[in-house]
Amino acid sequence: MEHSPEQIRNKIERLRKQIEEHSYRYYVLDSPVISDHRFDELMLELQRLEDQHPEFITPYSPTQRVGGRASERFPKVVHSEPMLSLANAFGEGELLDFDRRVRNTVGERVEYITEFKIDGLSVALRYNSGIFEMGATRGDGRVGEDVTSNLRTIRTIPLRLKQNSSLEVRGEVFMPLEGFEELNNKQTEQGLSAFANPRNAAAGSLRQLDPAITASRPLDIFIFNLQYIEGKEIPTHIQGLQYLKEQGFRVSPGYRVFDNIHDVIECCLDWQQKRDELDFEIDGMVIKVNSLRQREMLGATSKNPRWAVAYKFPAQAKKTRVKDIIIQVGRTGALTPTAILEPVRISGSTVSRATLHNEDYIREKDIRIGDRVLVKKAGEIIPEVTEVLTNERTGNEKEFRMPDKCPECGSAAVRTEGQAATRCTGIACPARNRRSIIHFVSRDAMDISGLGPSIVELLLDNNLIKDASDIYKLKDRKDQLINLEGMGQKSAENLLDAVEASKTRGLSRVITALGIPFVGTRAAALLAEYFGSMDALKDANAEQLTAIPEIGSVMAQSIITFFEQDQNVRFVERLEAAGVVMSTGKKDNNRAQPFKGMTFVLTGTLAGYTRDQAAGIIEDLGGKVTSSVSKKTDYVLAGDNPGSKLDKAMKLGVRLIDQQEFDSLIQQGDENINRDLEVKQ
């Protein structure tokens, strides 16, 4: 019997709703009501109908969780509201101080909610009329990466809500411990490197260029905040979580409401002891004010909300044995002693090595080969030996001596008076060079995708590069590149494209990439902003450098010493000759800020630029862009096909401007904007 297009569309929609409901029961409620076989049958039937009738495929269909290939560089997304980090509390006293500040500000009874501080990757999810529209990583808090295609693969993220709500939520993508162990077993079986911990695995999986790889990884998500919702007033955080549960989200589990800080503290201490009972990593508890009205009264600093705090658990310490002590040569030539340990599980990952920092650290703690020791993760990241269990010594332990020659190149290893580090004196030390190149191409530096440690080794072994500057000559050696083992035409072209794109990363990235001792990403950004060019930085003296906040005398001297070395100057010159951008346009801090103090909301489609670009213009002129209209909104910029925000603005009496007026104001110049806005309204 022939079915009409409308009947087919209705059947497809019924199948989708069935599958959505069963997915919710299986992945979120953990309470399936049909067999896996029956679920697979429903999916196959839906897939067959969509294959036959592609005109009925929609972005929210369950078959679209793994889409096409994502772009090779994730687009940037400006968050509607900054994704602020939380201030930390490390003891009961700091939680009591937090409570005192909150109560003094609001002047009334306060309820708190406690939630697990899940060790994962924060993301923002936007829904438009109930359909999952966009998902982004936290990034720097203001600008993240659009990873929508990859987030679609996570089964606990609904592609369509129960209601046609337009909203934004915040959540934490993580990897359950059981899934993490299985993934690492697969990595090992395939001869690949194991992930360091579940957080590292989750972050790496979410940033895959191919969504199919992300889909193969056991990622999950807990939603912890309703950021905004159009046309609905929700007065408390707990009501927001309950609403999100009703819409199909898997919200942060184990949350509890308390009416006093002492019960909050008891809850935190309780979970500090029970954290190993969970199937996911937590490194603390989050305490939030429940009332959204009170949150508005408390406000936020430029970095942290004043209505929430993170109670951080102390680092876990475990007992193990030092099997050996080896030397690793860093990119600055420092010889770092490293303990080889009997493997022990700490904070979600298996630890088999721990840094011993330097010779003084070993002497101070009297660490010997064969010792039983306590190991913890400093800041839950870097394993270190914290205590030697001398009462468990057998007499067979061996003292360790720092070598007087570099184990990599045989050059003299020297400890400069007044410094803790012993350094290799060999300029051409292969260990230094290899690690310098790996640092140069890393994400925080020149961010050259496809050029990981194994490819760097391959290029060095085949004499295609000698140092990092040679990376920019690879385009002249494309044929040799293609013929490398495991490379091929497409991989080579992708790599050369990434190398070319890195030339315009910006001055701060180049400074970071140089690997100047003591100069990290934050210092590099400050130096780039202050000096504006590599030439100016190269010629800077100690007085100029230390005039910059956060640049101390030690860092200043390190920068000066770096540029005193002819080989370093020649290296920078080779980068510049290759076309790497060595200067930056410094902001004119004297520019007028006509939108200062004004809040804008954007709605509809803008011709000629995206909403993010329009938001950037407003912010450059001192304004602020938010996602929802309220009485505090100063202006709504309405493009074509505006949504419900326009109606709400009219109802609240918020001033409206269209794109023509906006463009006209920008073209007229800063001095006229304030005046014209007032006249037009």
Indicate which residue of 117, 376, 645, 648 is catalytic.
117
Identify whether the C-beta of residue 585 lies closer than 8 Å to the C-beta of residue 506. Answer: no
Nearest to 195 by CA among 218, 215, 172: 218
Assign residue 579 a region (left: φ > 0; alpha: ψ between -120 and 50; beta: otherwise): left
Measured CA to CA, the distance from residue 116 to residue 252 in angstroms comes to 7
Give the torsion sign (CA, 70, 74, 79, 85): positive
**Measured distance CA(5)–CA(26) in Å, rounded:** 31
Select from 567, 325, 580, 526 the least CA-distant residue to 436. 567
Contact 584, 532 (CB under 8 A): yes
Q: Where does 571-634 show beta strands of DSSP type E?
A: 599-603, 624-626
What's the CA angle centered on 379, arms 507 and 512, to 5 degrees? 10
- State which H helix or E strand residue 101 sits in: helix 92-106
CA nearest 319: which of 273, 375, 390?
Answer: 375
Nearest C-alpha neighbor of 269 from the set 291, 250, 256, 284: 284
Residue 223 contacts residue 251 (beta carbons within 8 Å):
yes
Q: CA-CA distance, 347 to 279, in Å (whole number)? A: 12
What is the Rg, in whole angstroms, of the alpha carbon atoms belonging to the chain?
Answer: 28
What are the distances in angstroms from CA 617 to CA 97, 396, 654? 40, 69, 21
Angle at 649 between CA 646 and CA 654, to 5 degrees: 135
Contact 146, 135 (CB under 8 A): yes
Residue 409: other Cβ atoms inside 10 A: 18
CB 381 within 8 A of CB 410: no
Residues β-bridged to residue 458: none
- 517-524 own/partner pairs: CB under 8 Å, 24+ apart: 517/332, 517/558, 517/562, 518/554, 518/555, 518/558, 519/555, 519/558, 519/559, 521/444, 522/550, 523/550, 523/551, 523/555
Known catalytic residue: 17? no
Q: Which tokens in the block code for residue 297? A: 């009264």
Q: Where in the sequence numbering do the catalytic residues fall?
A: 117
